[in-house]
Amino acid sequence: MSDENVHEYNIMLCGSARAGKSTLINALCNRTMIETSSILESCAKTITCYTFNDSHYIESKVFITKFQTNFCEPPDIDSWTEDEVKSYVKEIKERTNPLCMIYCASPGSYTKIPQLEWLIEACLDEQICVALVCTNMWISTNRYNIRDDFNKILSKYLKQTKEEDGITYYGDNNALVAMVNSEKYIDNELGVDEKICGINELIYGIITSLKDDKGLGWLYTISNNESFWITKKSKVANLFNKTVDDVWSLISDITRDLKERNIALYKKSNINRKTPIIPEQHIVIRKKNSVSCTIL
Ligand SMILES: Nc1nc2c(ncn2[C@@H]2O[C@H](COP(=O)(O)OP(=O)(O)OP(=O)(O)O)[C@@H](O)[C@H]2O)c(=O)[nH]1
Ligand SMILES: [Mg+2]
């Protein structure tokens, strides 16, 4: 009989009500999300957690390891004090060691700048990567004000390093600003019909910002996003110093052989690193309630 061992990746998701948070995570992950309260039950604030409805498992003689990503969403932080915001981030860091913090604001939602600044300061202090995302960008030209505010705030703490594919990067890739349309935007009255955009660029931006196990967690999180892999596989191959075929086959197998993926996907700068992040194990993968495990 094997014991179950859970390997969770956690992502902080913030932004005011109707800011487009759920729509964004659906667009990033292309998987069905369900609400769960399992990981943060005793946190001082009531956190809503979402995870995939189909976790993946690696089975060895001793353990069954369950892989899952959780998105942890606090209630709207607009009324929080500086101390509350900073304690929240500290606690989340201690309890979940998040891959990154994704903050959403849409031209139709309201953001309180002081709370956002405290949140960013706390994340940077705790070495949590920050992605500031203007969502639902076609709803009004106010998108440019949101993007400018995000850039202004990050410039207080970090040096802007580059702008690529609509993403502005800061520091040693510890923060970025992006603008997205997470689902088709249609306004029949104005004759507007805009496609999803900016999502693949945001996924890639976050890949470049995360290292080692966190990078792996992010790849796992977005592994079902076929559109991303079709359009960005060459860039990912280049980032990891692999051929496109190598990356394509790794990604096709992404949940079948996490050990191989773990060893193979060191970024160029880490290529000589010897220690595998996930311990050696005899791997048989199965998807709960299913015989197949290939996502793509
Ligand atoms: N077309 C389009 N609609 C969007 C986009 N983002 C959000 N919306 C719409 O805006 C509304 C609110 O989006 P949600 O994703 O539910 O926002 P939320 O931040 O999760 O909201 P709460 O869970 O209530 O806090 C929904 O009707 C979405 O369809 C976008 O990028 N494009
Ligand atoms: Mg939501």
Domains of the chain, start order:
3-225+282-287 (3.40.50.300)
Distance CA 30, CA 130 (A): 21
Percentage of the chain beyond pLDDT 90 is 50
Reported confidence tier of residue 32, pLDDT bands at 50, 70, 90: confident
Is residue 17 in contact with ligand 1, taking CB distance under 6 Å?
A: yes
Q: What is the pLDDT of residue 62?
A: 65
145 pLDDT above the threshold of 70: yes
Q: Give the residue-averaged pLDDT of 218-229.
A: 87
Q: What is the pLDDT of residue 48?
A: 87
Grouping H, G, I as helix, E, B as strand and the rest as coil, residue 43 is coil
37 pLDDT above the threshold of 80: no
Q: Pull the structure tokens for residue 160.
A: 């802007």
Distance CA 79, CA 102 (A): 19
Give residue 249 CA to ligand 1 midpoint distance, Å. 34
Which backbone phi and psi does 226 adopt, to 5 degrees? -60, -40
Residue predicted with more confidence, 59 or 296? 59
Distance CA 82, CA 168 (A): 27
* Backbone Cα Rg of the chain: 19
Neighbours of 233 (CB within 10 A): 16
Residue from 26, 29, 47, 136 whose mutation best tests the ligand 1 pocket (most atoms within 8 A of CB): 136
Neighbours of 209 (CB within 10 A): 24
Distance CA 262, CA 265 (A): 6
pTM, whole model, 2 decimals? Answer: 0.84
